Structure formats: structure tokens, C-alpha cells
Amino acid sequence: MAFRLLALLSSLLFAFELASSACNSDIEGPYPISLVVYNSLADVQNLTYTTDIAYRGILLGAMMKIQESADTFKFTITENPDYGPYLVSVNGVAGNDNEQTYWELLAQLQNGTIIRPDVGVGCYIPNPHDKVILKFTKWECV
């Protein structure tokens, strides 16, 4: 009997927390972001995509949404057991260790500042109206 009462109270508390958290947020629904594919090593046109991302959703989810809706956007990832999803290729262009090329993740914030997030596509949470940039480039050994 005590277990059933505890389970009922726990369920009610969870429902109350969900209802009250929905009332405390200014942004609780999806919001827009854009994604730019930029190849700095080839003379090709940049491609820009827009989508809505879930509130506090990760970039990888937005990329999957774009891939499902746009024939001109495809990407592949590999799972790294230590660091999570790693972006391998975009639109058939893959990074290459021998050529020292990779896809760099950048984000242009609403104020125009461009940042290099310290996480990858599986952890980065874009802010509303961010412009996420996937830049194909070379790394330099120092």
C-alpha cells in the first residue's frame, strides 16, 4: 500500500514539475537556426539551409532534420567512444588525415561574433537565430 501511494505521489510531483516548467520559460518551442556549408578549399558556392530546432536541441538533430528535407544536404558521422559523434563528410566531401583536411564547426551568434564551440555536432546547442557554419578546411601542425 505504501509503495502504491509513493508511486502515485511521485507521478503527481512529476506532472506538476512538467506543468510548472512550461510556464516559466520564454522560449519553450522550436526556434530557427541556419546552417551554412562552406568549403574553403574549393571554388564552390556556399549552401545555406534553415530549419527549426527543438528548444535546447542539439545541432545533430537539426542536421538530421535538414538531411530529411533537402536533397542537397547529406552528411556522415562516426561514433567516437570518448567524444561522441564526429562529422566525417558533408555532401560527399570527407576530411582526410593525409591531406590534413576536416570539417570545422563554427557558429555566428546574433551579435555577429563567430565562435568555435568546444563541443561537436552531438553536443552543441545552437541559440535562436544562430548561423552554424560547417567549414571544410585544413589544419596546420605547429
pTM: 0.79
**How do residues 82-123 score in pLDDT, each as one tens digit?**
989 999 999 999 999 999 999 999 999 999 999 999 999 999
Which among 2, 3, 5 is positioned nearest to 13, based on CA atoms?
Answer: 5
Does the pLDDT at position 141 exceed 90? no
Interval 7-30 mean pLDDT: 52
Q: What is the dihedral sign for C-alpha 12, 18, 22, 24?
A: positive
Q: Which amino acid is present at 105?
A: L
Helix, strand, coil percentages, rounded to 5, for the chain: 25, 35, 40
Cα separation values, 134 from 6, 28, 88, 113, 114, Å:
49, 27, 11, 16, 12
**How do residues 96-107 score in pLDDT, each as one tens digit?**
999 999 999 999
pLDDT above 90: percentage of residues in the chain: 77
Angstrom distance (rounded) from CA 70 to CA 84: 25
Does the pLDDT at position 19 exceed 60? no
CATH 3.40.30.10 fits 29-138, yes or no: no
Beta bridge partners of 65: none
Residue boundaries of the structural domains of the chain: 29-138
